Chains A and B, each alone.
Chain A
């Protein structure tokens, strides 16, 4: 049974990437950038009924320096866009962004002078969660997608 059979009991082998990614994906520290309606569903997902704690992501950090997963929850207007970029740039690597809801993904049904047509015009986005607003299940699904994405990364790819 592989290399482990030659080793004393209690020792396993793995790749460094695998261990680090495992740690990262089960301990997201979210920065909820909540602007609008979807925030209500974020509250619902974070509270006891849907219990985001099952994914190790229950603890919101309101300082971008301490967060690694940014949740863009709600409509991004042109007035708030500089704030969004500033907050994103303040986050330390490794960092990921999840756009929650139709407005954050694409501007939703607000095609007008004041709404940014998708948060990805301001910052790079890793996972898009659709819905107006997405149900908590969809939100949790987004978290799982995010975990899957983190799992495929290599620590080397984030150099420079």
Chain B
């Protein structure tokens, strides 16, 4: 009888833990709720998680590189408001969406500048931009929602592909494909991993840290803006307080997916699984009629288990 070697089992368990957890949750919910396992419910959950997943994909890069981005929800709100404002002013979808995405990229890069050249801790830098952008959003919207009536724009959040698959789900998987390729198939992705593993070693082996961080936070900003645009479309309006607390949901998805908060180790597929876990948990507890107070308790416990698994390495 040999003792279990935790050093070997833990990383594997951590990786597969999220997938196993998702499968277990799936089985339990299918048994408990007769409405759970239907195509329309599963598609509906996929649509519900799409905004969180888009943000979480960007967050995965940031966390893999050893950073954190608290400003994602605020970027989502601000870019959503600007996009909504441009649409309300009569601009076309291309202009409004293009401006929103461009702005998101820019705001993310501001985070990158603060973190790399400004040498501010990512937690503090993005906390600052979070507060700043929340304020700017309130200033711009005057605290009231901006209605964004535009048939074409409405498709982004409310449309369907082939009358079946919600468009936000299509966009989520498209972003997943692109981000997955960036992470696994490009030099950029390898450098992200290298920085998160050991920044000094990465620098010595020729990785240009500052431009990399600019790109990483820029990507996070871009995806947050994308999520903000989808959300604005889904709500028919840009809400001045949209996305409050979304940074925590995104971090939770990343951590649940088995990506290490200390950087350098993780995978994008895990983030998708993490977002699904949160989504199915919310959906299942709603279907079972569990009070929203207990829903938060359950979500907290699940996150704690994931973090404990993370510590076992």
Partners in one complex: no
Interface residues, chain A, CB within 8 Å of chain B?
none
